[in-house]
Amino acid sequence: MCKKYTSTTLFEVLLVITLVMFLTGLSAAILPRFLLSYEVDSAVHITTHAFNSARTYAMASRHDSDWSVKISDSQAIVFKGDDFEQRDDSYDQVFSFPRGVNISGENKYVFSKVYGDFDFTQGASEIVFGDHSSQHKVNINEKGIYSY
């Protein structure tokens, strides 16, 4: 009785290699856009967390003070008071943003003690994350409530 051997043909091997190359090329084209979108979403969530912390501290009159958020290119800082330069940095909470996220808008957001209202005289009400391909806006109303 003859044994039958099965093996792969050259055509099948080339077909598998072609499919792997196609999928690699497809993922290489999509991955940067996906990563940018993820980084922008992360920056928005970090910022809203900082706003929540500052507003909650202000409403609770923690240390009998207003609380603020300072936004820079690389981080959001929750600090006691409304003057970043004169603050006591022992109360700071620092939240780092992912690298490569463009941030535009004002950089200081002050929440008044007791009511947690947003002080429009201290900064703008909108901050924009990302670029034209992946962009998110966070808006703050006069009551200190944000939306995005």
CATH of the domain at 134: 3.55.40.10
Angle at 114 between CA 110 and CA 116, to 5 degrees: 35
Does some domain include residue 1? no
Number of domains in the chain: 1
Mean pLDDT of all residues belonging to the chain: 86
Does some domain include residue 2? no
Predicted model pTM: 0.76
The answer on pLDDT for 122 being more than 60 is no
Does some domain include residue 3? no
User: What's the pLDDT at 35?
Assistant: 83
Does some domain include residue 103? yes
Tens digit of each residue's pLDDT (9 = 90 or more) over 39-53: 888 999 999 999 999
Does some domain include residue 7? no
Angle at 43 between CA 37 and CA 44, to 5 degrees: 90
- For strands 75-80 and 67-71, give the pairing: antiparallel
Does some domain include residue 4? no
Does some domain include residue 25? yes
The answer on pLDDT for 92 being more than 90 is yes
* Domain extent at residue 115: 12-147
Does some domain include residue 43? yes
User: What's the pLDDT at 147?
Assistant: 81
Instruction: Fill in the DSSP letter of residue 101.
Output: -
Tens digit of each residue's pLDDT (9 = 90 or more) over 48-69: 999 999 999 999 999 999 999 9
